[in-house]
Structure 1
C-alpha cells in the first residue's frame, strides 16, 4: 500500500475531514468547508499561499498567507483584499482572469496589469459586464475560461463531521 493511500485515514484519525471527488481540486473543498462553516454561523481560518483563496475572505473568514515559510503569516480579510487588489473578495476571480496569474499559468487579458484590472472591475463590476460592454472581444472566451479556473467551487461534496450532526 502506498503512503499516499493511507493519508485520508491518517487525516480522519486526527479528527479532520478527508474529501476527494472527480472534477474537484483541494481549493474547492476548502471553499465548501468555508461556506458550510459560515452557514452554521461559525468562523473559518484558511491557511494557504494560493491567492485564489482571497475570494473566500469575509467578516467570518480570514486567510492566513505564508510570508516567510511558515514562520510569518499575513492575515487577509476583506479589507486586505481591497487594499492589495482594489477589488472586493467576490471579484477576485474576475481580477485574476483580467490580470493573469503566473502560478496557475493564466496569462490574463493582453496589456492588463493589476491597476487596470481593478479599474475595469470598479467601472463595470464584473468581467462579464466588461465583456458585454465590448471590452476584450477578441479574448472574451479565453477570459471566461480563466475566470472559471480561478473560481473556487463551494459546492464540492464534503463529508459530515461529528460536530455537525
Structure 2
C-alpha cells in the first residue's frame, strides 16, 4: 500500500475540527485523522507492506520550467506552499509517530509524492494499492496496480483498475495524463487546450493515444480529428509539447531500498507511548495497532 501522505493529512485536517488538541493545547486533528484513516485502510485492505510517500518538493523546478502555471495558485508570498498555520507544525510530529511505529516513509529531494509512488509501483513485482486523491495517478492502474481513490472520502473509497478508469473517463488508464493535459486541471494549474472539453479530449485520446501522437497527426493533416480539433491542437502545440512531461509521474526517482514491512510490534514502543501521551492520541495509536494486528491475521 503506497499512501499519498500529504493528500491524507490535508484531508484529515479539513475533515476534523482544530479544537481536537493535545494536552498542551496544540491542534492534533491532522495527526489523529491521518492515523484513523490509515488504520481504516489497513484494517479493510490488509496490506503486508505500507509506505507513506512524501512531497519533499511539492512544486519541482522541472515541472515549473515546463509549465510555469503549475500549482502557481498554491504558492504563498514567500514562495513556499500555502499550508494552514495550524497544519504545518503537525506534520513533523506525525512523521515522528510513524517512525516510532516503524511505518515506512519515502521521499526524494526535487520530487513530489506522485513521483515516489509511481517509481515504487513501477519497480515492484507484488500487487500494489495506491491511496490517493490525485487523479493523475490513475495512469498507474494496471492488472497489478489498483488505485484507491479518496476523492469522495475514505468511507466511499473508489477501487479503480484499468477497466474502471476506462469506464469512468472514457480513456485507457495509461493515457489519463494525456486526457488531463488536453482538458486542463485547475487543481494543478494546467490550462488545457482552448476549446477542447472533456468529451473531445476523450475522443482524441481514444483516437491517437498520446499527446505526442496527436501533435504529429495534426501537423501531418490527419483527417481523424473531430471537427475543428486539429486546429486547436496546432494552436496549442507549444504547451502540448511540454505539458505531458509535467503531468506524468516519474519512474526514475532515486530511492534506496525501503524496509516497508508492516511490522506487528512497534519499532520504538516506549517513544510511541510517550508521543501518544504528549499528543493526546492514545486512542488513535491503539486503533492503528489493532489494524496492523488484523492485517497480520
**Pairwise TM-score range, normalised by the shorter structure:** 0.7 to 0.9
Report the Cα distance in structure 1 between the residues aligned to 2:243 and 2:254, rounded to whole angstroms: 23
Superimposed CA distance per residue, residues 16-56 of structure 1 (whole angstroms, 9 cap, x where no aligned partner): 3323323210111111111122xxx3111111110001001
Equivalent position to 1:63, from 147, 151, 163: 147
Matching of residue 35 in structure 1 with residue 122 in structure 2: yes
Q: 1:144 to 1:16 in 2, by over 3 A?
A: farther
Q: 1:158 to 1:8 in 2, by over 3 A?
A: farther
Superimposed CA distance per residue, residues 46-93 of structure 1 (whole angstroms, 9 cap, x where no aligned partner): 111100010010111111112532221011110111112211111111
Q: 1:12 to 1:31 in 2, by over 3 A?
A: farther
CA RMSD of aligned residues (A): 2.1
Matching of residue 121 in structure 1 with residue 218 in structure 2: no
Moved more, 4-13 or 126-135: 4-13
CA contact (8 A) 1:58 1:77 kept: yes
Which ranges in structure 2 are unaligned for 5 or more consecutive residues? 1-88, 220-229, 262-297
Report the Cα distance in structure 2 between the residues aligned to 1:116 and 1:69, rounded to whole angstroms: 29
Larger radius of gyration: 2
Deviation of the 1:107 alpha carbon: 1.6
Q: 1:115 to 1:3 in 2, by over 3 A?
A: closer
Report the Cα distance in structure 2 between the residues aligned to 1:9 and 1:159, rounded to whole angstroms: 20
- Secondary structure of the 1:81 match is helix
Which ranges in structure 1 are unaligned for 5 or more consecutive residues? none
Equivalent position to 2:239, from 136, 142, 145: 142
CA contact (8 A) 1:18 1:159 kept: no
TM-score of the pair, normalised by structure 1: 0.85
Q: 1:21 to 1:68 in 2, by over 3 A?
A: closer
TM-score of the pair, normalised by structure 2: 0.50
Report the Cα distance in structure 2 between the residues aligned to 1:34 and 1:50, rounded to whole angstroms: 15
Q: 1:163 to 1:49 in 2, by over 3 A?
A: closer
How many residues of Structure 1 are paired with residues of Structure 2 in the alignment? 160
Matching of residue 17 in structure 1 with residue 104 in structure 2: yes
Q: 1:112 to 1:42 in 2, by over 3 A?
A: same
Report the Cα distance in structure 2 between the residues aligned to 1:67 and 1:129, rounded to whole angstroms: 31
Moved more, 55-64 or 153-162: 153-162
Matching of residue 77 in structure 1 with residue 161 in structure 2: yes
- Secondary structure of the 1:98 match is helix
Q: Which residue of 1 aligns with 2:249?
A: 152
Report the Cα distance in structure 1 between the residues aligned to 2:114 and 2:250, rounded to whole angstroms: 8
Q: Which residue of 2 aligns with 1:101?
A: 185
